[in-house]
Structure 1
Amino acid sequence: MMETIDKEKEPLLIPAFAIKGHTDEEDLLLLGGSSKKRKFHLGQWVKWVSTRYRKPFDPQSDEDFWYDPKRSLTWIHNLWELPNWGLLSHYFNCGIGLSMLSTPVTYYLVESLDASAAVTNTYSALTYLPWCLKVFMGLQSDLVPLMGVHRLSYFIIGWIVFILSNIWLAIMVKPGIIGTLLLSFVMTMGLLYADTVADAIVLECSRYESDKEKGRMRTHCYVVRQVGATIGSIAGALIYNSTSDGGTWGWGLSIQGCFILQALLPACTILPLILFMYELPILSNKNLSSLCHEMFEFIAHDGVWIPMLFVYFYGLSYVSNPSWYNFLYDGLEFSDFQVGMLYTIGSLFSVLGLVAYEKYFFKSSWRRLFLWTTIVSGIFSFLQVLLVTGQTFGLPKIIFATGDISLQGFFQYVAFMPFCVMFFSMIPGGTEGTIYALISTWQNVSGEVATGIGTTLACGVNVSDNAIENHNWSGVLKLTLITSGIQLLPVFFIYGESPSGIKFLPDNIDETKAQCRNPNRRSNAGAYLFFALFGGSIVASILQSLYVIFYPNSC
């Protein structure tokens, strides 16, 4: 078992300016980076791989292969340094893995397997469901070391599951609806297992960031992931477009070839880099009972559970239109390439949204940021009504649709990052994998429930493939109006506060901390409400997804 560190006795994860052998002035200077170039020591690396790769990296030790003459530890939170290339490749492949197959598989379901709107929405729900289970993956990573380590072993297993799932789908040649949905769920589970561990590693590395830069490494990871998502969307549009599969070109991979390609990418670009990855020591030795107690106490504070309920409500308001993919394919007769390029440009604008947040909005007021991004995003969502009615002001429908989705994605991602860093600096040491996974899972759970609501709405209106193909789009129009209107509801609560004075949405990290300083402002009832809503949402999403899988024509 991996040696754990009691943070009360020997805190190994010290800031860079606390390194022995330097004055305060020198160490503060080191936070800006070493003036000498770091060196790779082959001998130390061979030793690392042969004897120490299953042990955590001690930041105070000189026995590492990534040698810095001044012993500055700023490289630990630098995503571009050699030991973090595995993380860099992970987030890039994570973006590709979440986007490259999305368009080909959806097109395959609709055009080759005649899947209904409920089935295609369930595909989205099933590939999103693992995001709602990250907290359980985080618990296992924090509590149960495997092969002596808490992170890297699960990181490897997650990617192997992802690779094998794609190989299995490729072996099936032309999988049916059930096989496609279930194995898509399993492959996403593997990817999210690795992603949960990667998030925990990033959070551990971020302890070396200064207070002013807290969350910067996390932002860089999301940017890299969205770049991967953009490239994956382009690839998905290009590789699956042959005439034999219903496309418009004379060439392209079959759906089997798409799965093979997706399996090869992480196998060639992630697995080799794992040999260079460090693992930092767990700060304290906790069991399941103490970890659950710590989670409960963290959530029970009014300054946590009240804003978290707003986060849930905000995500719940983004109800997806389940008929939209079918409308694009069967109604507007967009090809796989056109839809792929549409979402490629959407991914690109999401990257621009993340970059814009880091460059221009990193220190902005969260409430003002959420107010204008929510309103603008809602307006662009309503503009999709014009696409249904055919009033596109003379613009080609593909151009009009691209503008809607792209600009909406930009504003949604500008608003996304504050949720990610809201409680970043308050997570207790030794619980990084679990509590951060709990926070991010909470966001994902609300999105999963929103998708489920969309699927339920599809059962109340006529959005069948036959209706859409026959230009009976009244059901699509109703769903577009309903889902767009719901998106604007959070605007009325952004500036709200509880009777005890807790802001529903803190304005910045400092206000988040200020709302949590008073230990008496806590509520067990609030924590129980949080976990009841958390568990109930996951169970409801699973049951609905299973129902649609086995009864695809139920509505």
Structure 2
Amino acid sequence: MSSHNYFHSVVSQEAYTTDYISFQDSKPSTGKPKGPFPGHCCDHCTCSPSAECGCVNCICTPGYCKCPKPKPPTIKYNSSYDTTTSFRRPLEIEKPRAAMYDHKGVRVPYIDGPYLIQQKKNKEGSLEGGPWQAHEQDIGCQSINTLCTFYPIKGKHKKIKRWYGTFEDGYLAWSSIYLYEWFGFKYYEPLPPSEGGRLTKIPPWLPDLYSLPNLAIAMSYFCVGVALQLLRTPLIVYLIEDKNASPAEVNVLFTVMAVPWCFKVLYGFLSDCVPINGERRKPYLMLGWFFYLISNLALAAIGEPSIPAVIFFVFLMTSAYMLADVMTDALIVERSRYESRKGDLQSRGYIIRFFGSTIGAALGAVVYNKNDWSFYLPISVIFLLNGLFILVFLLPFIPYLVELSDDCKPKPFKKQCADLFETVQLRAVWQPMTFVYVFNAMQIANAAWMSFLVEGLGFRAWEIGVLGTVASLMTWFGIIAYEKYLFESSWRIVFIVCSSINVLIGLLQLALVTGKSREWGIPDIVFALGDDGVQEFLIGIQFLPLCLMYLSMCPAGSEGTTYAMLTTFSNLAGTVAFDVSTLLTTVWDVEEDTIMAGDFTGVYNLSLLCTLVAPLPLIFIGLIPRNRAHQDDLIKETTRSPVMGVIFIAVMIFTMLGTFYESIHTVREAGNVEYQDQ
């Protein structure tokens, strides 16, 4: 029998809402038919089979009575099994235990244990009856669309126990060979699909990032971290040493790696507004990683790709894993509503992500150093290795990924925009995001620092790779330190202390420029590692409070768009800082020839300026909440400012347009340089 005749069912946790009526113990007061199914509509509703909801002049819908009703009685189960059907039978009415669906979105029976139910064939080879039928004794279960317990019909269905499956608190987890289970087609209801529903039981797997239903999220974060770092050093070495790329062409590479970060808000809109087969996250997650894999395999197949090919496929793969990253964040935000300590899941997710960055940076530092070491991998093998991370670490866990959603209908674009504008008008949103934008825009890096390390101090490619590895490792340690020891600390104090220490470390960097570190007997690489390591550790500590703040700003139903918009807003401020740092290189002479000649005056002045500017945004530290409790209080106030909402959107749009313009200008400039060289 083909796989589509198997019904893959997934159970949600037990939930109850007072306005959700599945059974009605009172008899109809009139002779009129009541609801599309018995007991599913109020007494004054007249039902019509042609009506979409089954009721005429009534706000009720099938299974959802909007009229006040008494709490329904419950069904109690006998612990023994029915001897005729081998399935438990209800003794009296109870509230529904779970909502379960097959891969086509059809409601299916509740079965205790890892079972598949297969329809039997008759002598002619056709399937017996419909896909599911209820026993006549089951009250109120005359239709598959009612939310009650169903049982297979003896003689028409057979129960198949899957020995390698497990049952864990409302979730059927099993291994599978069916293709559709990797690409979505699952529906989950952790909450009743009606307004005002309340969660009465949280299954243990829901707030546990390492449980089987959530493990794909953890692995996706890990793969994002690897994708961010593994190719960075090999690509630079390959383009400069093997393809003789000009500085302008290398700059184009960094540009196409930065631009897709601006797409995150667009990806959020896409997933919130256009679900695929009833799911908003998982299909897009798979699409993102699919195109990422294709890009790496294409580069591996080419062997030694040209500069334009590298730039094109790097742009494609960066856009692809940004799509996957947005979906991973949205899955975390949706789950965070059920945490006892909000933010735990997200902090663990970013710990895994930066661990992946550390692994990627370490591999990138050693796999392509053919000039320094006798062992190295060809660039095509590195591309293949980069793609295989997805197949090995992520794909096996995709079938178990649970997407939480109580309403996956397409959302109009205008409605999504209106909801987003309502969100950014909140004082709890625009006020702290103002500080975030100003703070990130003034974290200006010394654009000539890399040239100073390579041309001035003679750092080799593997040493630059080690710096990146240590930076990722220390950021990872910083996030762990915050999650373990500073989670309940004041956000304002965290920013003040970390920024102040960063100023001291930045001033200490000047010793490397002036050569004082050598006089102290400290090798340049050791001093640079310690200096960068401490700074990245502090950046890791500052990173999580912002993420926790974004988390509390996301309304239900628009998690993908809102979280992506907030992170995009923050990232755009970083592009402003990058552009300012590039402009500052014209103030002092930091050209490569000057640095190679041993004149580090421009590097010194630029480093001093960047260090002194960085703490200035602390003047506005009062704009961010003191902690999570303060943020929740601000959200409850619902104070709105349409003017600030307009300013917020305008700043984001104009910064994004400026980034696109700068990127296009960079690409055109590189093209002009190449044309002149020819």
Compute the TM-score of the two structures, normalised by the length of structure 2.
0.69
Q: Could you tell me which runs of 5 or more consecutive residues in structure 2 were left unpaired when the two chains were aligned.
A: 1-16, 22-62, 64-73, 77-165, 193-199, 674-678
More off after superposition, 521-530 vs 382-391: 382-391
**What is the 5 A alignment of 1:392-403?**
392=517, 393-403=520-530
1:337 paired with 2:501, answer no
Q: Rate the CA distance shift 1:363–1:177 in 2: closer, same or farther, 3 A.
A: same
CA displacement at 1:380 relative to structure 2: 1.7
* Pairing of 1:445-464 with structure 2 (within 5 A): 445-464=572-591
Matched, 1:127 2:252: no
8 Å Cα contact 1:156-1:271 kept in structure 2: no
Quickly say closer, same or farther: Cα 1:401–1:107, change in 2 above 3 A.
Answer: farther
Which is richer in helix? 1
Q: Does residue 107 of the first structure (1) align with residue 237 of the second (2)?
A: yes
Q: Would you say 1:199 and 2:329 are equivalent positions? A: yes
Q: CA deviation at 1:551?
A: 1.2
Partner residue, 1:57: 188
AA of the residue aligned to 1:278 = V
Verify the 8 A CA contact 2:443 2:614 in the aligned structure 1. Answer: yes
1:522 to 2:634 alignment: no
- Structure 1 residue 356 displacement after superposition: 0.7
1:91 to 221, 224, 231: 221
C-alpha distance in 2 between matches for 1:85 and 1:174? 35
Q: Once structures 1 and 2 are overlaid, which stretch shifts more, 432-441 or 327-336?
A: 327-336
Compared CA separation, residues 175 and 453, structure 1 to 2 (3 A): farther
- Contact 2:261 2:322 (C-alpha < 8 Å) held by counterparts: yes
Residues 58 and 523 of structure 1: CA distance in aligned 2, closer, same or farther (over 3 Å): closer
Q: Report the alpha carbon displacement of residue 79 of structure 1 after superposing the two structures with TM.
A: 0.9
Cα separation, 2, equivalents of 1:382 and 1:21: 71
Q: Answer yes or no: is the 8 Å Cα contact 2:233–2:461 preserved in 1.
A: yes
Note closer, same or farther for the CA distance 1:398–1:284 as it changes in structure 2 (3 Å cut): same
Name the residue aligned to 1:241.
369
Q: CA deviation at 1:469?
A: 3.0
**How many angstroms apart in 1 are the aligned matches of 2:397 and 2:407?**
25
**Equivalent pair of 1:122/1:455 in contact (CA under 8 Å):** no
Bigger drift between 529-538 and 41-50 goes to: 41-50
Q: How many residues align?
A: 506
Distance between the aligned counterparts of 2:359 and 2:467, measured in 1? 13
Query: Which residue in 2 is equivalent to 1:230?
Result: 358
Task: Give the residue type in structure 2 aligned to 1:330.
Answer: E
For the structure 1 residues 488 and 384, does the alpha-carbon distance in structure 2 shift closer, same or farther, using more than 3 Å as the test?
A: same
Give a deviation string over 1:195-250, Cα, whole Å, max 9, x none.
1011111111111112xx1010000000001111111111111111112xxxx111
In structure 2, the CA distance between the partners of 1:329 and 1:108, relative to structure 1 (3 Å rule), is: farther
Q: Quick check: 1:353 aligned with 2:478?
A: yes
Alignment match, 1:534: 652
Q: Single out whichever of 389-398 and 218-227 deviates more from structure 2.
A: 389-398
Q: Which runs of 5+ in 1 are unaligned?
A: 1-6, 13-19, 23-35, 62-69, 496-503
Give the equivalent residue in structure 2 for 1:64. none
State the distance in 2 between where 1:538 and 1:10 align: 45
Tell me how far apart the structure 1 counterparts of residues 232 and 181 of structure 2 sit (CA, whole Å).
40
Match of 2:447 among 309, 322, 330: 322
Instruction: Tell me, yes or no, if structure 1 residue 362 matches structure 2 residue 493.
Output: no
Separation in structure 1 between the aligned mates of residue 305 and residue 173 of structure 2, nearest angstrom:
46
CA gap of 1:429–1:231, structure 2 versus 1, over 3 A, is same
What do the CA deviations read for 1:450-487 (whole angstroms, capped 9, x no partner)? 12222233344443333333333333333322322221
Task: For 2:485 and 2:293, locate their aligned partners in 1 and report how far apart those are by CA, in whole Å.
Answer: 38
Aligned to 1:465: 592
* Alpha-carbon spacing, 1:127–1:294, altered in 2? closer, same or farther (3 Å): same
Deviation, structure 1 residue 155: 0.6
Q: Does structure 2 conserve the Cα–Cα contact (< 8 Å) formed by 1:117 and 1:464?
A: no
SS of the residue aligned with 1:227? helix
Q: What is the Cα deviation at residue 306 of structure 1?
A: 1.7
Identity %: 33
Determine the structure 2 residue equivalent to 1:375.
500
2:250, 2:261 → 1: CA distance? 18
Distance 2:546 2:432 in 1: 10
Q: What is the identity, as a one-letter code, of the residue corresponding to 1:181?
A: I
Q: Residue 499 of structure 1 aligns with which residue?
A: none
Query: How much has 1:146 moved relative to structure 2?
Result: 2.1
Q: Secondary structure at the match of 2:279?
A: coil
Determine which of 540, 545, 548 is the counterpart of 1:421: 548
Aligned to 1:273: 397
Aligned to 2:378: 254
Distance 1:182 1:143 in 2: 28
Q: Assess, with a 3 A threshold, how the Cα gap between structure 1 residues 42 and 478 changes in structure 2: closer, same or farther.
A: closer
Paired letter, 1:443: S
Counterpart position of 1:477:
604
Pairing partner for 2:311 from 181, 195, 200: 181
Matched with 1:28 is: none
Alpha carbons 1:365, 1:507 under 8 Å: kept: yes
2: CA distance, partners of 1:333 / 1:239: 21
- SS for the counterpart of 1:75 is coil
Q: Give me the whole-angstrom Cα distance separating, in 2, the residues matched to 1:251 and 1:325.
A: 26
Question: Residue 282 and residue 174 in structure 1: after superposition, are their counterparts in 2 closer, same or farther (change >3 A)?
Answer: farther
Letter in 2 for 1:491: L
Distance 1:534 1:72, change over 3 A: closer
Code of the residue aligned with 1:275 in structure 2: it is P
Instruction: Give, as a single letter, the amino acid of the residue that structure 2 aligns with 1:270.
Output: L
Report if the CA contact (8 A) 1:118-1:458 is conserved: no
Pair 165,328 (structure 1): closer, same or farther in 2 beyond 3 Å: farther
Contact 2:276 2:283 in 1 (8 A): yes
Moved more, 400-409 or 437-446: 437-446
User: Any idea what the Cα deviations from partners look like across 1:478-537, whole Å, max 9, x if unmatched?
Assistant: 332232222121222213xxxxxxxx1110122122233334x32211111111110111
Shift of residue 271 of structure 1? 2.1
2:18 and 2:189 map into 1 onto residues whose CA distance is 17
Equivalent position of 2:431 in the other structure: 306
Q: Which residue of 2 aligns with 1:137?
A: 267
Counterpart AA for 1:407 = V
CA distance in 1, matches of 2:191, 2:548: 28
**Structure 1 pair 527/50, CA: closer, same or farther in 2 (3 Å)?**
closer
Q: How high is the TM-score relative to the length of structure 1?
A: 0.83
> Which letter does structure 1 place at the counterpart of 2:402?
Y
* Cα separation, partners in 2 of 1:329 and 1:10, compared to 1, 3 Å: farther
State the secondary structure of the residue aligned to 2:636. coil
**How far apart are residue 173 of structure 1 and its match?**
3.8
Specify the code of the residue in structure 2 equivalent to 1:545: S
- Residue 359 of structure 1: CA displacement? 1.1
How far apart, in 1, do the equivalents of 2:510 and 2:305 lie? 35
**Given the superposition, is the C-alpha separation of residues 42 and 48 from structure 1 closer, same or farther in structure 2, using an over 3 Å criterion?**
farther
**Aligned residue type for 2:237:** Y
Instruction: Select the structure with the greater relative contact order (CA < 8 A; seq sep ≥ 6).
Output: 1
Distance between the aligned counterparts of 1:21 and 1:442, measured in 2?
51
In structure 2, C-alpha distance between the alignment counterparts of 1:326 and 1:430, rounded to whole Å = 47
Q: Give, in angstroms, the shift of residue 122 of structure 1.
A: 5.2
- Structure 1 stretch 71-80 or stretch 399-408: which is displaced more? 71-80
After superposition, the CA RMSD in angstroms is 3.1
Structure 1 CA distance, aligned partners of 2:467 and 2:446?
16
CA distance in 1, matches of 2:311, 2:583: 18
User: In structure 2, what is the Cα distance between the partners aligned to 1:523 and 1:490?
Assistant: 23
Cα deviations across residues 242-298 of structure 1 (Å, max 9, x unaligned)? 12xxxx111212333322211121122212321221222254753211111111111
- Structure 2 residue corresponding to 1:214, chosen from 319, 332, 342: 342
Quick one: which amino acid aligns to residue 631 of structure 2?
T
Q: Match of 1:509? A: 628
- The residue matched to 2:640 in structure 1 has which SS? coil
